Amino acid sequence: MVEDNMPDKKTVLICCGTGCLANNSYEIYRELKKRVEAAGEDISVKPVLKTTGCNGLCEKGPVITILPEDIFYCKVKISDVDEIFEKTLLKGEIIERLLYLDIKTGKKVKSHKESEFFKRQKKIALRNIGQIDPANIEDYIQRGGYRALKKALFEMSPDEIINEVEKSGLRGRGGAGFPTGYKWKQAKKINSFPKYVICNGDEGDPGAFMDRSVMEGDPHSIIEGMIIGAYAVGAQKGFVYIRDEYALAVKNVSRAIKDAYGRGFLGENILGSGFNLDIEIVRGGGAFVCGESTALMASIEGRVGEPRVKYIRSTEKGLWGQPTVLNNVETWANVPVIVDRGAKWFSSIGTEKSKGTKVFSLVGKVNNTGLIEVPMGVTLREIIFDIGGGIPGGKKFKAVQTGGPSGGCIPESLLDLPVDFDSLDKAGSMMGSGGMIVMDESNCMVEVARYYLKFLSEESCGKCTPCREGIRRMLEILEDICAGKGREEDIKLLLELAETVREASLCGLGKTAPNPVLTTIKYFKDEYLAHIKEKRCPAGVCKELTSYRINQELCKRCGVCAKKCPAGAIFSKPKSPYVIDNNKCIVCGACREACRFNAIEVMGRREG
């Protein structure tokens, strides 16, 4: 089920994940289809064209895979369609120009499987994405889909399923890493009906698109997981909560639910087993906090999306006060594979306490921006430098922020940290749902903390005091520090407020909100001190604390900086190096970006 089944027939897979779509991949599909249809009987083997979900290598999109030869083309344009048709499809020739260039080896690779980006990945949750047409249930079934459901319904008892999931060591992929099997067991134990299953697709972290890609690219894997889960705990009603901004996810999951009903996988007496389940979609309004399980349930119930305390768990009293199992998209997508291939196989992947794989959206200052799935326990260094291909522009790595806006920033010294729930926790960050934002030397870590706190201050539901008021005041201090108005005692006050926000907040949002501040203070305290004491932003980001100077020895008098300067602040006298007029400079950094000789130096606050 996880390995690729190579089709014998010639097949062209055109990635139509959101990233590729934005770069006209659907038009490429249409053009290619036109060419194939126009050729009619003239071609001996008529290729099958398929639009698939996100392939992962978003940076190089639109991407196209041609099977069975497994030729992988990147950055395809509409103007390339004719050539692909004529050369590759008709004659089997490879177009060198469109092949993927491996940054590490400097070589072009024919098949995506040969690239460092794909080679080190292991796909379980993403097993079908990029391989199937998400709108076609047959594609899913052909790759082993719904086989696990049959096994669960006819060969296993609910307790056996729960045992299997528990033994697999699967932990919730939504962030907290709660053991899934244990959660199911608790819900099954309670003798109160109706019970509910919920899929949490309210992904709201800036820069994260793991769940979206699964919902868009392989919706049946989630539905199959939910049916198995519902059968195991005794639920007859399920909800898929998707934020409404994810239009394609809503469309593809809706279609999949409809098709699943059509094939008897949903509805009454599923496959003749006597088990009934209905699933419907609830579209969320886009509040970040609605990703919190109890807020999400409040939102489904039609109330304001505010969390409640969880001293009594949702498995006992969840949706409408009834036992409810809520799992994240990726968690559900893992379930069919565990049932199909067994707990032993699944638990052989990963680390002692974090089993299986994890999907990450790798973004920021990294060459291969995209969607990846790796076994738990790989190091951050492998993810960022081997799979991600390192930092663009020859810049120096500074930090990686994991776990969404309330995750922490991990410095270079911890790059060899294995990525699993517990190690990330220990480093002051968290797994979260799998966002991974890479930062380089041009990022100011105080500004990064400020950015995330601003996000959280707006996205806190505002119900409890520590979160609403605490984040707001921490933000106030960080804004002051970035504006050069920081005070010596600010770091101490930030730490004190962080404790109260972390310990006394009602839900996970507040409890983790101080992480960006705590980790940046822990690992980048010198940057805070430079801002507060020296009134200088070392990265040259905080405008109030930055001025530029042209190093007179490094300046080659090329004049590019002066041309790029939008404020006309750079000038030179004949035969002498360029200089910046600080009174005119707007500290936009365009000169620094443009200079090829690193002659623009970042200085502290301008005088006067």
Partner 1 sequence: MKIKIDGLECEANYGEYILEVAKRNGIHIPTLCHTDALPGQGSCRLCIVEVIEGGKNKVVVSCLYPVTNEIEVLTNSDKIRRMRKNIIRLLAARAPESEHIRKLKEEYKVPEEKRFNVDKGEKCILCGLCVRACEAVGVYAISSVNRGITKKISPPFEEPPEDCIGCGACAQVCPTGAIALKEFEGKRVIWDKTFELVKCSVCGNYFTTREQYEFLKQKYGLEAEEFLCDKCRKKSTAQKLVF
Nearer to partner 1, 20 or 517 (CB): 517
Q: Minimum Å distance from CB 420 to partner 1?
A: 22
Strand, coil or helix: 389: coil
Whether the Cβ atoms of residue 436 and residue 402 lie closer than 8 Å to each other: yes
Nearer to partner 1, 306 or 420 (CB): 306
d(CA 317, CA 324): 7
Structure tokens belonging to residue 447: 């500004």
Which residue's structure tokens are 């291909």? 389
Q: Rounded to 5 degrees, what are φ and ψ at 226?
A: -65, -40
Q: Minimum Å distance from CB 201 to partner 1?
A: 20
d(CA 198, CA 568): 57
Nearer to partner 1, 454 or 549 (CB): 454
Q: Minimum Å distance from CB 172 to partner 1?
A: 20
Q: Minimum Å distance from CB 464 to partner 1?
A: 5
Structure tokens belonging to residue 546: 């930055």
* Amino acid, single-letter form, for residue 152: A
Q: Minimum Å distance from CB 460 to partner 1?
A: 4
Strand, coil or helix: 127: coil
Q: Where are the beta strands (DSSP E) in 187-236?
A: 196-201
d(CA 461, CA 414): 33
- Contacts with 59 (C-beta within 8 Å, 6 or more apart), sequence order: 367, 368, 369, 370
Nearer to partner 1, 45 or 304 (CB): 304
Q: Minimum Å distance from CB 507 to partner 1?
A: 10
Tell me the sheet residues that pair with 401: 409, 437
Q: Minimum Å distance from CB 462 to partner 1?
A: 3
Q: Is the peptide bond before 62 cis (omega within 30 degrees of 0)?
A: yes
Structure tokens belonging to residue 385: 């430098």
* Amino acid, single-letter form, for residue 211: D
Q: Minimum Å distance from CB 313 to partner 1?
A: 12
Nearer to partner 1, 83 or 316 (CB): 316
Q: Where are the beta strands (DSSP E) in 84-232?
A: 100-101, 108-109, 196-201
Q: Is the dihedral of CA 307, 311, 313, 317 positive or negative?
A: negative
* Amino acid, single-letter form, for residue 403: G
Strand, coil or helix: 334: helix
Nearer to partner 1, 1 or 176 (CB): 176
Q: Minimum Å distance from CB 593 to partner 1?
A: 34
Whether the Cβ atoms of residue 510 and residue 501 lie closer than 8 Å to each other: yes
- Provide the H-helix boundaries in 403-468: 421-426, 445-459, 465
Closest CA to 387 of 438, 433, 334: 438
Nearer to partner 1, 446 or 506 (CB): 506
Q: Minimum Å distance from CB 487 to partner 1?
A: 8
Tallying the residues shown for the chain, one arrives at 608
Q: Minimum Å distance from CB 181 to partner 1?
A: 22
What letters, b where the CB count within 10 A reaches 16 and e where it falls short, cover 111-138? ebebbbbbeebbbbbbbbbbbbbbbbbe
Residues of the shown chain interacting with partner 1 in the complex, contacts defined by CB under 8 A: 287, 289, 304-306, 308-309, 311-312, 456-466, 468-473, 476-477, 487, 493, 496-497, 499-500, 503-506
